[in-house]
Amino acid sequence: MKTNLLDLLAKYRKNQATPEEIAYIKERLAEFQELQDLALEEEKIDWEELDLSLEDEQLKQKINRQIKKNYFKTILTTIGLLLVLLGVSAIVLPKLVDKFYYDPITEQGEKLSPFTLSLVVANELQQPYRSLNEIKIDALGFGNYDIYINFTEEGQSNTNYEPLSKMQLRKGRMLQVDTSIFRKTASLLRLPKQSSATAKEMFALQKEHMLQQLATLPPYSQIYASLAFEPNMDLAQVKKLDEEKNTHIYWYGVQPPNDQTSIMGFAAYGGVPYTLMFNNEAKNYLNQLNQTYPYLFIGIKNGEEYPENYQFLRFQSMLAFMLDHEADYQQLFHQEYLTKEIKAYQRLLKDEANFKISSIYMVTTVDSLKKILTEHPECFAKIQQIELYNQNF
């Protein structure tokens, strides 16, 4: 049967084709379907090898255009899917890997995570000279974090910040940790728990030498000094020194259990940096922690009154908090020895009568320090820093 296929298709659509014509159309359509399937497999058709009559040229061109359209559509769809998968992987995969490593940022956020709060408490226990002002954590993905810490020198203006200290937490391991930025109590003046006569004579000579040195300085020059007491004094006795003119105590060192245990202490106005109390939700969370660790984070409620022995209770809370969060500080910073020292303190402080002050860090003037050393023979001083002012000030 030789006729124009397009004419036959028109008759077929109008239900005017004969049975023979219908059979012929179906046969030709089956051939074209086979051709299209072959084209999708081989990406092109060599029409020269096909036995097509000239009247089918128009249909052949339509089929070629449809094949090319489907081909490019498939390529674009594949590229789009790959881009989507890459985008999802770039966003989801780093956070997914984070789940398998230590995460310093919890559901409470970076400011109130156990990691951040452990740094705050550990800094106060071990750092007489600087307060921890701000902590910022950048999550890099795949278990990696950059941690930035900002300290403020005690006695200095709150706007006079030190450069940020950067730490790197990589897949649960803290790299290149400078533990000296946290542990400064080793530099405090310290008297042996049971001072020998020779030791007392040595300190007496040092004290006399210091008084001679102070006599050469302008009377109102500012002195940053640590003081040690022999014997150790209770908190009420030590606080009387704070009443001296131009004198302010920033940190109290608690009498250690023995000569092998490092001095730990608490800040005069310790608690939590104001940068962590950024909203009511944060304050409520800290208040909840205070139920477990009494007075740990003080200063949350304005005008709140505390019992006379709250600093004793708070110091015990600080020790308990550090033990409960070993993984958030001690193990990360390789300071596992703190557990032994903290437990020694806890054994000593089962009796509140043992809560004595062995040393303090203070800011005063030359005149006031001379007066303290003269009127309190049990005090020994170590000058950390001197800021000289004009003689006529």
* Sequential pLDDT tens for the chain (393 residues): 556 777 777 777 777 778 887 778 778 777 777 766 666 555 554 545 555 555 556 666 666 666 767 777 778 777 877 777 776 666 666 677 667 888 888 877 888 889 999 999 998 999 888 888 888 899 888 888 999 888 887 766 544 555 678 888 888 888 866 665 566 776 676 765 555 667 667 777 878 888 888 888 888 888 898 888 877 889 998 988 888 888 999 999 999 998 888 899 999 877 666 667 667 888 888 889 999 999 998 877 666 788 888 999 999 999 999 999 998 888 888 888 889 999 999 999 999 999 999 999 999 999 999 999 888 878 888 887 787 765 444
- Rounded to whole angstroms, the Cα distance separating 353 from 14 reads 110
**Strands ordered across the beta sheet of 165-170:** 130-141, 144-153, 165-170, 173-175
Please report the pLDDT score of residue 38 as a whole number: 65
Same domain? For 326 and 280 the reply is yes
Would 78 be classed as within a structural domain?
yes
Same domain? For 349 and 253 the reply is yes
Rg (CA), the chain: 40
Q: How many CA atoms lie within 13 A of 374 on its CB side?
A: 11
Same domain? For 372 and 343 the reply is yes
Please report the pLDDT score of residue 100 as a whole number: 83
Same domain? For 86 and 228 the reply is no
Would 104 be classed as within a structural domain?
no
Same domain? For 369 and 248 the reply is yes
**Residue in 137, 122, 107, 118 with CA at minimum distance from that of residue 281:** 107
Q: Which residues contact 87 (CB under 8 A, 6 or more apart)?
A: none
Are 229 and 239 in contact by the 8 Å Cβ rule? The answer is no
Would 342 be classed as within a structural domain?
yes
Q: Tokens 């007392």 — which residue? A: 200
Would 45 be classed as within a structural domain?
yes
Q: Helix 5-13 to helix 19-42 angle, to the nearest 10 degrees?
A: 110
- Rounded to whole angstroms, the Cα distance separating 185 from 188 reads 5
- Rounded to whole angstroms, the Cα distance separating 35 from 337 reads 80
Neighbours of 190 (CB within 10 A): 19
Same domain? For 123 and 91 the reply is no
Q: For the full predicted model, state whether its pTM sits above 0.85.
A: no
Of 181, 205, 226, which residue is a domain's last?
181
- Rounded to whole angstroms, the Cα distance separating 95 from 102 reads 12
Same domain? For 171 and 199 the reply is no
Please report the pLDDT score of residue 369 as a whole number: 92
Same domain? For 158 and 133 the reply is yes
Of 181, 214, 237, which residue is a domain's last?
181
Please report the pLDDT score of residue 49 as a whole number: 52
Token couple for 254: 């608690």
Please report the pLDDT score of residue 121 as a whole number: 92
Same domain? For 121 and 251 the reply is no
Please report the pLDDT score of residue 299 as a whole number: 75
3-state secondary structure of 349: coil
Same domain? For 281 and 173 the reply is no
Please report the pLDDT score of residue 298 as a whole number: 83
Q: Tokens 């897949």 — which residue? A: 171
- Rounded to whole angstroms, the Cα distance separating 344 from 336 reads 14
3-state secondary structure of 221: coil
Would 154 be classed as within a structural domain?
yes
Q: At 354, which amino acid appears? A: N
Same domain? For 268 and 336 the reply is yes
Same domain? For 160 and 308 the reply is no
Of 71, 98, 125, which residue is a domain's last?
98
Q: Which residues contact 183 (CB under 8 A, 6 or more apart)?
A: 126, 127, 262, 335
Q: How many CA atoms lie within 13 A of 268 on its CB side?
A: 19
The full 3-state SS of 133-183, as one line of letters, equals EEEEEEEEECCEEEEEEEEEECCCCCCCECCCEEEEEECCEEECCCHHHCC
130-141 and 379-387 beta bridge pairing: unpaired
Total domain count, the chain: 3
Domain, as residue range, for 284: 185-387
- Rounded to whole angstroms, the Cα distance separating 195 from 193 reads 6
